């Protein structure tokens, strides 16, 4: 790099420019280059929990949402090895919760479903857990289905950092890790969550759902029905 030329790194053999402080994923998305991800959102600090965005940086593994772009980095993402790893992680997410896409209100608008299609996932592969988690319908406007949570913490971050309400939290360990509601009863109806809050609309899967709106947008006309997740890489979601 010389003079005033923009700094670049290589992503799957293509040079991409980046802005100071950008992560690999931010730079890729700005350039319209898709790197699979679930827990990353352009409006929030990187979290690095889902590991779907794992890439190889100069031959070593790293999360594209947390690794800062730097001049001369050689980044591999769209490889058979990495996509196979992502497919396995997705299969594990599907069996750990109850993700029955044909009966889910979020079908067609679900990032987990869209990413599974993108990675060519044809079945869960592993034995399903079928966890018995409650559905919380105590709130007048919002349904909470814990069975579909992928622990991305987007609702936690949105409620804490944007809504300033701390409605949600993550608790437990290992397979017992789960989404919690911060109220004495543990019920969503006993919080001040509003339908207009950012936390109420940021969920990438079918956990936080507005009541009485389930099929306002018909199946077949939803976001990922129109175009695949990779085709929508450029811009915020």
- Per-residue model confidence as pLDDT tens for the chain (237 residues): 444 678 999 999 999 999 999 999 999 999 999 999 999 999 999 988 899 999 999 999 999 999 999 999 999 999 999 999 999 999 999 999 889 898 899 999 999 999 999 999 988 889 888 888 889 999 999 999 999 999 999 999 999 999 999 999 999 998 889 999 999 999 999 999 999 999 999 999 999 999 998 888 998 999 999 999 999 986 444
Is 40 in the same domain as 134? no
Domain match, 74 and 117 both: no
Half-sphere exposure for 184 (CA within 13 Å, toward CB): 0
The predicted pLDDT at position 133 comes to 86
| CATH number of the domain bearing residue 98 | 3.30.70.20
Residue 55 belongs to domain spanning: 8-78
Q: What pLDDT, on the 0 to 100 scale, is given for residue 141?
A: 98
Q: Does residue 229 sit within a domain?
A: no
Which residues are registered as beta bridge partners of 179?
170
Specify whether 12 is located in the same domain as 71: yes
Q: Is-contact 124 88, C-beta < 8 A?
A: no
What does the alpha-carbon distance between residue 196 and residue 46 come to, in Å, rounded to a whole number? 24
Residue 215 confidence (pLDDT) = 84
Would 66 be classed as within a structural domain? Answer: yes
Q: In this structure, what CATH number is given to the domain that contains residue 74?
A: 3.10.20.740
127, 187: one domain: yes
Asked if residue 234 is part of any domain, the answer here is: no
First to last CA, the chain: 33
Residue where one domain finishes, among candidates 78, 112, 127: 78
């Amino acid at each position: 790099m010389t003079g005033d030329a923009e700094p670049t790194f290589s992503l799957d053999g293509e040079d991409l420019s980046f802005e100071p402080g950008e992560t690999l994923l931010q730079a890729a998305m700005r350039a319209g280059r898709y790197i699979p991800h679930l827990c990353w959102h352009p409006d929030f600090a990187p979290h690095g929990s889902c590991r779907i965005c794992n890439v190889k940086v100069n031959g070593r593994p790293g999360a594209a949402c947390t690794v800062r772009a730097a001049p001369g980095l050689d980044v591999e993402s769209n490889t058979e090895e990495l996509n196979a790893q992502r497919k396995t992680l997705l299969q594990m997410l599907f069996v750990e919760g109850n993700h029955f896409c044909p009966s889910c209100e979020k079908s067609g608008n679900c990032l987990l479903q869209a990413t599974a299609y993108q990675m060519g996932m044809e079945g869960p592969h592993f034995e399903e857990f079928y966890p018995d988690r409650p559905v919380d319908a105590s709130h007048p406007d919002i349904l909470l289905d814990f069975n579909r949570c992928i622990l991305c913490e987007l609702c936690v971050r949105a409620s804490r950092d944007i809504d300033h309400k701390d409605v949600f939290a993550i608790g437990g360990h290992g397979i017992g890790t789960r989404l919690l509601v911060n109220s004495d009863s543990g019920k969503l109806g006993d919080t001040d969550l509003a339908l207009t809050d950012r936390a109420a609309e940021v969920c990438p899967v079918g956990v936080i759902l507005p009541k009485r709106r389930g099929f306002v947008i018909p199946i077949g006309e939803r976001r990922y029905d129109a175009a695949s997740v990779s085709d929508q890489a450029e811009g915020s979601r």
